[in-house]
Amino acid sequence: MSDSESLSLSESDNFYHNRKLSTITAPSDVLKDVIDSDNEDINDISMHGTKDRTIAGNETEYQSRWRKREISPVRECRTYKERIKQHEKEMKEYNENKEKQEADKREKNLKTKKEHRERNKQYHQGIKKRERSDSRHRSYTDQYHTKH
C-alpha cells in the first residue's frame, strides 16, 4: 500500500466520521420512563411512538359515546297552530282509548258478576233439591219406622 492510497483512505474515514448522522430522538419524559422502569415490555423503546394516530384510537370513552349518540328526529309540527292541532288529536285518541278500556273493564266485571250469580243460583238449587229429597226420604222412612 502506498502513501497516497493510505491518505485517501484516511480522508474518506474523516469524511464519514465528521458527517452528522440522522438520529432518532424522543421526548425526554418518554426516555426517562423507559430508563427508569423495570418492566421489560416498557423498556422496549421501539414500542414508544407507535401510538394509534387515528381519531377513533385517541378518543375517550365519553367522546365515543357522544359520537355514537342518536340524533333526535326532525319535528313534524312547525307552527303553534299545528302543534295545538297535533295535541288535540293525541288527546282525542287518548280519551277514546281510555273510554274503550273502561267499557271493556265494565263489560268484564258484568260478565264475572253474572257468572257468579249463576253459580250461586245453581248452588242454592242444589241445596233445595237435597232438602226436598231428604224430606221425602224422612217421610217415607217415618211410615215404617216404629216409635218407641
- Section 121-126 average pLDDT: 88
Residue 2, pLDDT score: 52
Percent of the chain past pLDDT 90, that is, above it, reads 24
* φ and ψ of 35, to 5 deg: -70, -40
Higher pLDDT, residue 72 or 49: 72
Residue 128, pLDDT score: 81
**Is 134 inside a domain boundary?**
no
Residue 9 grid coordinates? 483512505
How sure is the predictor about 18, in pLDDT bands with cuts at 50, 70 and 90? low
**Is 148 inside a domain boundary?**
no
Q: Which domain holds residue 1?
A: 1-67
**Is 24 inside a domain boundary?**
yes
Q: CA–CA separation, 42 vs 45, rounded Å?
A: 7
Instruction: Domain count for the chain, please give it.
Output: 1
What are the pLDDT digits (tens) for 68-120? 887 777 766 678 898 899 999 999 999 999 999 999 999 999 999 999 999 99
Q: Can you give the pTM of this predicted structure? A: 0.33
Residue 112, pLDDT score: 95
**Is 40 inside a domain boundary?**
yes
**Is 117 inside a domain boundary?**
no
Residue 92, pLDDT score: 97
**Is 2 inside a domain boundary?**
yes
Residue 14, pLDDT score: 63
Which amino acid, residue 28? Answer: S
**Is 63 inside a domain boundary?**
yes
Among 4-13, 16-25, 71-80, 137-146, the minimum mean pLDDT is found in 4-13
How sure is the predictor about 50, in pLDDT bands with cuts at 50, 70 and 90? low
**Is 126 inside a domain boundary?**
no
